[in-house]
Structure 1
Amino acid sequence: MKTQLFAKQYPLKLDSISEVRRLLTTLCQQLALEQAEIDRVTLVLAEYLSNLYFHNQGTVNWFSIELAGVKSNWYFEVSDTGESFDPYKANVNDIFNGELLTSGMGLALIQKNNHNGHYESENGINKFTCPLKKQKKKLNVVIVDDDQTLLWAYKGYLQNDFVVHIFSAAVLALKYIQHEGCDLIIADIHMPEMSGFEFRLKVESFEKGALTPFVFLTGDDNLSVQEQAAEVSIDDYLIKPITKTPLLAVCNRVIRRTNQLALHYQQRIVESLSRPFKPSLPPKSGDWNFSLAHTPASEGGGDFVFFHDYGESKLLILGDIMGHGPVAKFHSFAIMGYLEGLITSIPTCPGVLLAGLSSRLYLNQLLESSMLTCIVIKLTGNKCEIATAGHPQPYLLNDVGYKAIDCKGTVLGLLPDEGYSAVTVQLKAGEKLFFYSDGIFENIDRNCDCIGNILDGIKGTTAQYVLDQLWLRFESLLPGQLQDDATAIVIDLNNK
């Protein structure tokens, strides 16, 4: 099931390429990509667009760019109507000898930096794809010991699993920790300029220093040293000589325990924040029936539901802050506050509401390090108007099966004056509408055919019965704890 977060067509001009490069950077930052990956993506797409511009002048007037993904496997795709030219089939072996045209260097950069990319040309449309790499960030470990030989040995033990920073001077280590921070500190107790105990106390005075896991190294195995070490609240200690296996085991155990404690307290915070704002809907309003199921992620997530009854019409909003934990939950509350301010006593068109919310978010920059997808549904009589901003497409369910409702829009807050259009569905007797957050498909088995496994064969006379079947299917496909909030909504008309 493809989710589109951004799509826009541009005139093929240098100004457009510059604007797209800026937008690419913003989108990558909102997806929490590392800077190296952001640099790679912007380089590849800028080179492709530059090549398109300089070698198709007068024959190509536009290009479009899309950010989409399936199960969080995000990719950028550029489409154009220029002359077909596959950058992966170009021979760039001799570019450093100056034997190729000026485009050769750009093509070489594309080949080198986008190994998993794809180019195809069909029916006069060329498509160039740049997949985004999922990166598992290594944790930073600081090791302090006045023995240079041991320092390099410890670094060799850990460097395959961690980013290791070694210091023979405690003062330099303190400066690094204070300005850069780290995920684990390993320090010798007996050092010439200050003892490990003094070093630990100084670290505790830094912001987050007291919460950073800390391990002592010592050649002393007497009880008094061990008791003194316990008094300065460390997580573990190792007695020299130290080999790779115990050092690596202690590092992993200490970090795992710290993460468990952090997750425990984070869950308590999220639970206390979520209790008053748990997504909910009335079971019935006017001619419409509503059924909702919601399960929060283990670390907390950013799903929210907003409902407003105008009398003749109803407004239903399902949103998702991409991210987890208290920050995502806080952002979802802030967005609900924005919605309260935007919605007045006059029914609001879904497209106009999304445009207003997007403009306000762009000016406020509340979500500069995150991303918000949203779907707005306005119900009047048997008519349903739907507008979406980067949110998964809804489905129409009936006795025959199901079909996607084609409505798309850019994620909110990305552009200053972005417009949104709504599609209208006339609901017939027995038909139902299925709306959901991407957590429905983020959490289930990566090897299954998502939408088919969820919706195939689902039938029922009521919205609640259909939702119950959907949710049982969803839960049966879960591999373990939820990594993202999951929310599902089924609505239908009263059968009179």
Structure 2
Amino acid sequence: MNQVLFQRQFALSYENIANIRRVLDVKTQALLLTPDLIQDIKLVCSEYCTNLLDHQQQSATHCTISYGKVEGQYRFAITDNGAPWAALAQQLSDAALPELPCESGMGLAIIKTIFPDFSYQVTTGGNTIEFALPQASSRKHLVIVDDSHSQLAMLCSYLEQDYQVSIFSQADDALVWLDDNHCDLVLTDLWMPNINGLEFRRLVANKRQHRLLPFVFLSGDTLSETMTAVSQSGIDDFLTKPIDKWRLLQVLERVLKRHDNLLSAFEDNLLQQFEHTAMPGSKAAATTTLTTGNFRLLLSREPEISGDFFIHQPRPDGSTMVILGDLMGHGVIAKANGGISYGVILGLLQDPDITPEQFCRRLNQYLYQTQANNLVCLLVLHLATDNTITLYNAGMPKPIHCTNSCHHIDQSSGLLGLFESPQTGGYRMKLDEGHSLHGYSDGLLETVLTEHERQDMVLMPSSERHQYLWQRTPQNHEDDRALFTLTTIPEMGHIAENNE
């Protein structure tokens, strides 16, 4: 994975598999995965870990579960420290579900059925299986609530070809689901036992994340008193039963389009305000050059108002803290959330004695305790006066280190704020003249460089590597992108590196 968003090590035992499932259930919700995908990941993890315990010649004692991106595609991986399982890949490829139900022996077939695109590698000290996750659907997601099972079945048959659909026969079940999930519109019966449609809409509107969620009501009740109550509630539309399929599709398309237009207008207005109150250093420019101690730093960023942010903070002891951040998500809302994280980070950096590890732990504590709905990827560097660089990667793509070879630094703790105590680990290095370190956001590069590209970069002067990376994907303007390059001022350093 070029970008690790979640990574956690677990003791591997039969007793702990249930705990692993519980952790995955909570943390994958925080990562905004869909309920169906969460269930699939938990099931595959349980089946695979059970197979490790049952069939490895020397069973693993620990496994590390990771989630992140490779070439823009999300992946899920399990690494274990047991004996190599040479036949596993072939057994998985050959696995098939039995024609008749049975009680055992289906683990590998279940795994292959859920995630058929996988790879298995034996590496020093461990084995890794990595699954390619299905691409997220671009279809709008509807929640349908009706106490009539026949009505639910009919609505599903009308809508499931064009929309993702979640159905509920009771409004209180839908309320629980909406606590942790997103949808684009609610289609609900008006008169239901326990909670009627009007009360259901009021309860949903009390949830901050669903305050503007559009509602369409269904009912066979067309009495004037009912119609008055419905119109006064401010709903988006009302359809009388029996439901006509083509009329239903037209109404949903119109309501969703109107809702999207309102959100776009709101974001445009908010973006205009950002343009007057942008974060310091947030404006794009031709490559900016900074000098700090014995290091020269080149910085390029776009667009002008960006969810990516960069902080360059000199410290009283002559060292410098450098932070590149990237708010997950796109659009103005991600940029607004970025302002919150940016302010918290600046506040932590006011402590002149804070170390990079302390910074990561304190920011993790804030994000964990507040359960902030703004997932932020960070690359944190401490540039010491003796030319030592200590690097912490919390969810950013792997930085590139060019010496007499060029390689990605394969060390990440995953996003901060997911766990009470992060599993942090620093990477320590020194740069010699002509060598360089490159950090970037996924808007610039979503995959590792090819061997040919790495060889080309080694042959380039360090001053040209930055521009090469920046112009590598000039057509990519769908995401915020940022790149910084660190080099040493001539005659200032020598090369040595090790893992801290």
TM range (shorter): 0.7 to 0.9
1:405 equivalenced with 2:409 (yes/no)? yes
Amino acid at match of 2:279: F
Distance across 1 between alignment mates of 2:46 and 2:153: 41
Within the candidate set 125, 142, 152, 1:140 is matched to: 142
- Partners in 2 of 1:38 and 1:250 — Cα distance? 32
**Is the CA contact 2:189–2:217 (under 8 Å) kept in the aligned structure 1?**
no
Matched, 1:289 2:289: no
Shift of 1:430: 3.3
2:321·2:381 contact (CA, 8 Å) conserved in 1?
Answer: yes
On the 8 A contact 2:47/2:108 being kept in 1, the answer is yes
1:418 aligns with 422
Q: Alpha-carbon deviation of 1:495?
A: 4.4
- CA distance in structure 2 between the partners assigned to 1:62 and 1:19 by the alignment: 14
Question: Quick one: distance in 2 between partners of 1:13 and 1:6?
Answer: 21
Q: Is the 8 A contact 1:140 1:183 kept in 2?
A: no
Q: Does 1:378 align with 2:382?
A: yes
One-letter amino acid of the structure 1 residue matched with residue 325 of structure 2: G
Identity across matched positions, percent: 24
Q: 2:442 aligns with which of 421, 438, 460?
A: 438
Which residue number in structure 2 is paired with residue 221 of structure 1?
none
Counterpart for residue 161 of structure 1: 162
Cα 1:277–1:111 change in 2 (3 A) is: same
- Is 2:337 aligned against 1:336? no
Q: Report the TM-score when normalising by structure 2.
A: 0.72
Q: Against the structure 1 CA distance between its residues 301 and 155, is the aligned structure 2 distance closer, same or farther, given a 3 Å change threshold?
A: farther
1:315 paired with 2:339, answer: no
Q: What is the CA–CA distance in structure 2 between the aligned matches of 1:2 and 1:257, rounded to whole Å?
A: 38
Residue 228 of structure 1 is matched in structure 2 by: none
Q: Is the alpha carbon distance of 1:33 and 1:8 closer, same or farther for their aligned partners in structure 2, counting shifts above 3 Å?
A: closer
Residue of structure 2 in register with 1:471 after alignment:
470
Matched, 1:489 2:484: yes
Query: 1:43 and 1:143, CA in 2 relative to 1: closer, same or farther beyond 3 A?
Result: closer
- The yes-or-no answer on 1:110 pairing with 2:98 is no
For residues 436 and 265 of structure 2, the distance between their equivalents in structure 1, rounded to whole angstroms, comes to: 39
Per-residue CA distance 1:402-427 (angstroms, 9 max, x = gap): 43234322321233333433223322
- Residue matched to 2:359: 353
Which blocks of at least 5 consecutive residues in structure 2 are unaligned?
166-185, 206-212, 283-287, 492-500
Native 8 Å contact 1:397 1:403 kept in 2: yes
Asked if 1:366 is matched to 2:356, the reply is: no
Alpha-carbon spacing, 1:123–1:379, altered in 2? closer, same or farther (3 Å): closer
Is the contact made by 1:184 and 1:255 (CA closer than 8 Å) also made in structure 2?
no
SS of 2:397 mapped into structure 1: coil
Q: Given residue 160 of structure 1, which amino acid in structure 2 is its aligned partner? A: Q
Q: Deviations over 1:160-183 (max 9, x none)?
A: 223484648599543444445754
Deviations 1:67-117 (A, max 9, x none): 23214422221233246363634565277355xxxx525445434433334
The answer for the alignment partner of 1:303 in structure 2 is 308
Q: Is the 8 A contact 1:371 1:411 kept in 2?
A: yes
Q: What is the deviation of 1:309? A: 0.5
Match of 2:232, as an amino acid?
L
Q: Is the 8 A contact 2:367 2:416 kept in 1?
A: yes
TM (norm. structure 1) is 0.72
| 1:396 pairs with one of 397, 401, 421 | 401
CA distance in 2, matches of 1:64, 1:58: 17
Q: State the Cα distance separating 1:315 from its structure 2 match.
A: 0.9
Cα distance in 1 for residues equivalent to 2:219 and 2:319: 69
Partner of 1:387: 392
State the one-letter code of the partner of 2:161: N
| Partner SS for 1:441 | coil
Task: Letter of the 1:4 partner, please give it.
Answer: V
> Are the aligned partners of 2:216 and 2:239 in contact in 1 as well (CA < 8 Å)?
no
Structure 2 distance, partners of 1:294, 1:45, is 39
Alignment of 1:224-239 (within 5 A): none
User: Quick check: 1:92–1:104 contact (8 Å CA) kept in 2?
Assistant: no
Cα distance between partner residues in 2 of 1:180 and 1:355: 35
Q: 1:132 to 1:494 in 2, by over 3 A?
A: same
Question: In the alignment, is the contact (CA less than 8 A) between 1:155 and 1:166 conserved in 2?
Answer: no
SS of 1:104's equivalent in the other structure is: coil
Number of corresponding residues: 442
CA contact (8 A) 2:299 2:482 kept: yes
Amino acid at match of 2:231: R
Structure 2 CA distance for partners of 1:153 and 1:337, relative to 1, 3 Å: closer
Q: Distance in 1 between matches of 2:7 and 2:349?
A: 27
CA contact (8 A) 1:95 1:104 kept: no
User: Match of 1:277?
Assistant: 279
